Amino acid sequence: MKKKILFLFTVFLLSINSVFAQINYAPDEQININVYEKISPAIVAIEAQVSDGISAGTGCVVSPDGLILTGSHVVENYKNIEVTTANGQTYKAKLVAQMGKNKDLALIKINPQKALQTVSFGDSETVKVGQKVLSIGNPFGFSNTLTQGIISRIDYVKNRFQTDAAINPGCSGGPLINSTGEVIGISQSIYNPDHNISNIGIGFAIPSNEAIKFIASVDKKKIAESANNK
């Protein structure tokens, strides 16, 4: 009798495990999950002490030794910069290079304890209006938040992507990502005609090709100096 009960209980457990193993996500959900799991370890939170308080933003790790891309307005007029990686480690960062407000890109450098995961860039020239995009950032301090939307418009004059993926304070410098997990833009700003600081469905991102050019233009000696100047 005891053996029969044990056998039935074992069969029950196996059937329960089989049910859970067969849980399926919708194709669109699985894309979001895959992209998030691929990219989020390479996204950091940034806090810069500036003249009028604290500037918070997001960054993309672009080299395993701790080179990070963000928005220049995140670290503008900084006194101290702190970076928190996806695993919760916090590091002091040094400003390596930055561009003006029109480009709004900056590189900062930390010295991590071990090699970091990095993002990969896509070709922003291939981006189309209507294309699905995902955004990862640290809105209002809620780290590694994922949102989704589409490319709503391409501003060819100002060279900006417009998107309805939610971008809020703290997301600046974070990635706008395509469905294959490539960074196609760097979140920059939101449109707020009523002076509301929250997202209203109109956000802007700098095309990834601009970021690629910027990173390539930075003197490697300057990066090395930042790494050595702890």
Q: Which candidate in 72, 73, 124, 164 is catalytic?
A: 73
Q: Which candidate in 55, 72, 104, 189 is catalytic?
A: 104
Placement of tokens 């503008």 in the chain: 76
Task: Quote the Cα angle for 152-158-159, to 5°.
Answer: 65
* Known catalytic membership, residue 104: yes
* Distance of alpha carbon 228 from alpha carbon 111, whole angstroms: 9
Give 40's contacts (C-beta < 8 A, 6+ positions apart). Answer: 86, 136, 144, 146
* Known catalytic membership, residue 195: no
* Known catalytic membership, residue 172: yes
Q: Which candidate in 55, 124, 135, 172 is catalytic?
A: 172
- SS3 state at 208: helix
Give 159's contacts (C-beta < 8 A, 6+ positions apart). Answer: 206, 207, 210
Return the bridge partners of 95, or none: 108
| Active-site amino acid positions | 73, 104, 172
